[in-house]
Amino acid sequence: MQNEGAVTAITAKRLTLALCAAGVIGGAVGAITVNHNNATAQAAPAVAAAPAPAPVTAPPAVAGAPAATVTLPDFTRIAKQNGKAVVNIRVMGSTKTSAGNIPQVDPSHPLYDFFRQFQDPRGSRGGAPVFGAGSGFIVSPDGVILTNAHVVRGASEVTVKLADRREFRARVLGSDTATDVAVLKIDAKNLPTVPIGSSRSLQVGEWVLAIGSPFGLESTVTAGVVSATGRSLQDDSNVPFIQTDVAINPGNSGGPLFNTKGEVVGINSQIYSQTGGYMGMSFAIPMDVAVRIKDQIVATGKVQHVKLGVSIQEVDQGFADSFNLDSPEGALIANVERGSAAERAGLKSGDVVRKVNGQPIIGSRDLPGILAMAKPGDRVALDVWRDGKIVRLNAVLANASDKPAPAERAELAANDSGAKLGLALRPLEPIERRQSGLPSGLVVEDAAGAAIAAGIQPGDVLLSVNGKPVSTVAQVRDMVSKSTKSVALLIQRGSDRIFIPVRIG
């Protein structure tokens, strides 16, 4: 995601993904889209769940036809019982920014008056205060509150207003930008809380309810159905979002999404929009993800994410035919990071992950979505399609903060002269060999010194040294050590092959 002043852009055709907080803090809190081509984008003690929905008799569709009994949710019970634990969040910060960094709205825009209240009348120059707003909900009687990370990002002051109109200054215990979850704390006791549910049991078509403060209008209730689960919205996010058609607007960010039992199953976070307002698609962070983040923040003040150490591709029909798969499903392993959990588990380039702990992988993004629910050190069982059959592998997940092993470098002394090639090399992966048609070779991941001076570039494939084929760094090291002044490297670049002399003396 890239910041454009206060606007974070994710373009999906002409639709844009907008974060749902109102106002802006330091170009980050409550970014609101005003340009049609850009976008802003363990569990607390449970209380008794709301009574089961009461049957409601629907009116006859045709005069004279018998009435049909249809079970509809009683949203009044959920709103009355759980609305007390939903809070309004106001944030203030300061930023040294030009007026152009704050979203500018045409006076004819229907939301002009709303956006204008967040503009500094002096042009927001020189660190003037800026404001934002969002929603949240209480998960512990002693004042622990969940909301979105983007609601409080860059805030110097956070104020929480309860449903009974009391206001408290809040501390940000921690936030996680990867999942967009933040945890706040206010100094209060015996507060009402929401019951926490599991998002894993959500079904497409199930009724859900949102409570929040869209456009600053507190305790607003909107309802709809679950449109999809496990949605992937950005390449850099592993959150399996819940998609709904619940009306969510700026100010709803951080508010709860309830199921018909009155349990919170998600945190309302983002919308697809061309206008900055609701257009029929809203997205919530699954509560199973949010609780995992909350527990880590409360316990340690920081969050750890898992890392398998692979890059993946979608399995389309062409790949399915190539690998003799019965359907285009799974996550194709394009590359395995050296020294990673995946390499230790035996994963190889060209493998297709079909299941993780028994859960099917349909689209490639299902893999990181499932792994997002785990923690470093967890063991996962991977069902992998390899050579026409399923192979079971077990991986112990690493910490995402662990640095990858560096590429092996062929910086080799020649005849004790101290000269070096300056190449970072790795062997071709199986899938790269199939796609390129090359039987062997070494991929140039980085070039420096004598190599870059000779014209070698990252992405080149080293095929031979002094006319002898190479497939390992050890072979390159041996041949360079026997040379005196220069070596002749055969390089494949695209469809071309060229010899490049590299001086080492």
Kindly tell me if the per-residue pLDDT of 14 is higher than 70.
Answer: no
Q: Which CATH number fits domain 195-300: 1.10.8.60, 2.40.50.140, 2.40.10.10, 3.30.420.40?
A: 2.40.10.10
Highest-pLDDT range among 11-15, 108-112, 425-429: 425-429
All CATH 2.40.10.10 domain ranges in the chain, comma separated? 195-300
Closest CA to 306 of 341, 333, 337: 341
Architecture of domain 423-503: Roll (2.30)
Sign of the alpha-carbon dihedral angle for 186, 189, 193, 198: positive
Burial status of residue 348 (CB atoms within 10 A of its CB: 0-12, 13-18, 19 or more)? middle
Closest CA to 22 of 281, 277, 282, 290: 277
The pLDDT value given to residue 407 = 55
The set of catalytic residues is 150, 180, 253
Q: pLDDT (tens digit, 9 = 90+) per residue, 123-161?
A: 444 456 778 899 999 999 999 999 999 999 988 999 999
CB-based contacts of 376, cutoff 8 Å, min separation 6: 304, 305, 306, 307, 397, 398, 399, 400
Q: pLDDT (tens digit, 9 = 90+) per residue, 248-275?
A: 999 999 999 999 999 999 999 998 887 7
Mean pLDDT of all residues in 272-293: 89
Query: How many angstroms from the chain centroid is the CA of residue 492?
Result: 36
| Fold that domain 306-399 belongs to in CATH | Pdz3 Domain (2.30.42)
**High-pLDDT (> 70) share of the chain, %:** 75
* Model confidence, pTM: 0.67
The pLDDT value given to residue 209 = 96
All CATH 2.30.42.10 domain ranges in the chain, comma separated? 306-399, 423-503
Closest CA to 455 of 498, 401, 398: 498
